[in-house]
Amino acid sequence: MVCCALLVPSVLLAGQLEFPPVADFDILNADGSQVIGHTHFTLSPEVSGSQLIYIESRYVNGEYEIETNKIEDRGPSQLPVLLTYKHGFYNPGGVLTRESTADFRSGQASCLVYDNGEKRVYAATLNLPPDTYTGSALVIPLQHHLSEGSKDPVVFHDLTCVPGPKVIAVKASANELTRWAHYPGQTLEVDLKPELGWVDFLISPFVPKMHAWFNPADSWNFVGGQLTRYYKGPQIILARVPPAGGSPVPVSNPTTPEVAKARPLPAEDSPAVH
């Protein structure tokens, strides 16, 4: 259960947060030099009144991921809350290799992984604080905090697999506005670090530190992140494909993306500090 991104397919309000239409992201390797896949985000309303976030990521080696989140808007004075979460990882043949699920109403969460063909399931019923998020929904409290004009650190909770389900306090700290190598214009980097007590020192090396970038000129929308795909997994970079003329950019060949060099920025935006 790692951070990705949260963007919606139409201009909707969620707890005073405004998101743009559908968004597409390049997936880059750890050093940002090659495009190794693509991610596509959409959101659609449910009959129940909740909203379904659907995220599909496809890699050049044939692997793919599907993440779904149901969120519920609690009105203008409160943040949206997660209802359910599911994130599946598949090999090139379409066989499930690992999966994270959670029901935020019952507190039931599970982390499944196939290790050398052996199925391992870690399950627990947890006490989930109201400010608990996971996966792409980690962006919700971050964007909300920035939209309120605050750059002070904010602490909330992340539900993650390490390797079993665990709720971890996360501290997010914003840096100064600067230029990021993978998106044009000024962005704000937010660093997310786990707040682990001495009891958790054994898992500390395996709990990833994440970085997210937001666009101050576009309602603080998420434009990229540096993260690990899963527990002890490879590190990747997500970089939003800038919309052309204000319109969403369709995902490039979503079924079989080809390896490509990371797309260059315009000359005036090429200097990078991260």
Residue-level pLDDT at 87: 98
- Whole-number Cα distances in Å, 133 to 25, 99, 227, 270: 21, 17, 16, 34
- Tokens at 264, concatenated: 């260059």
Let me know if residue 4 belongs to a domain: no
250 residue type, one letter: P
How many CB atoms within 10 Å of residue 142?
24
Contacts of 105 (CB under 8 A, 6+ apart): 83
- Whole-number Cα distances in Å, 154 to 2, 150, 172, 208, 271: 18, 9, 5, 18, 29
**Is the Cα dihedral 240, 243, 248, 250 positive or negative?**
negative
Let me know if residue 117 belongs to a domain: yes
Residue-level pLDDT at 27: 98
d(CA 140, CA 128): 16
pLDDT digits 0-9 by tens, 240-262:
999 765 433 333 333 333 445 55
Task: Calculate the CA 245 to chain-centre distance.
Answer: 25
Let me know if residue 3 belongs to a domain: no
Number of separate domains in the chain:
1
Let me know if residue 6 belongs to a domain: no
d(CA 237, CA 229): 10
Cβ 99 vs Cβ 93: under 8 Å: no
Let me know if residue 143 belongs to a domain: yes
Q: Which structural domain range is residue 105 located in?
A: 12-269
> For residues 162-172, b (16+ Cβ closer than 10 Å) or e, as one string?
bbebbbbbbeb
Let me know if residue 5 belongs to a domain: no
| Low-confidence spans in the chain with pLDDT less than 50 | 2-17, 199, 246-259, 265-274
d(CA 271, CA 196): 35
- Whole-number Cα distances in Å, 201 to 116, 188, 198, 233: 28, 30, 5, 19
Let me know if residue 2 belongs to a domain: no
Q: What percent of the chain has pLDDT over 70?
A: 76
d(CA 104, CA 74): 15
Let me know if residue 1 belongs to a domain: no
d(CA 35, CA 174): 27
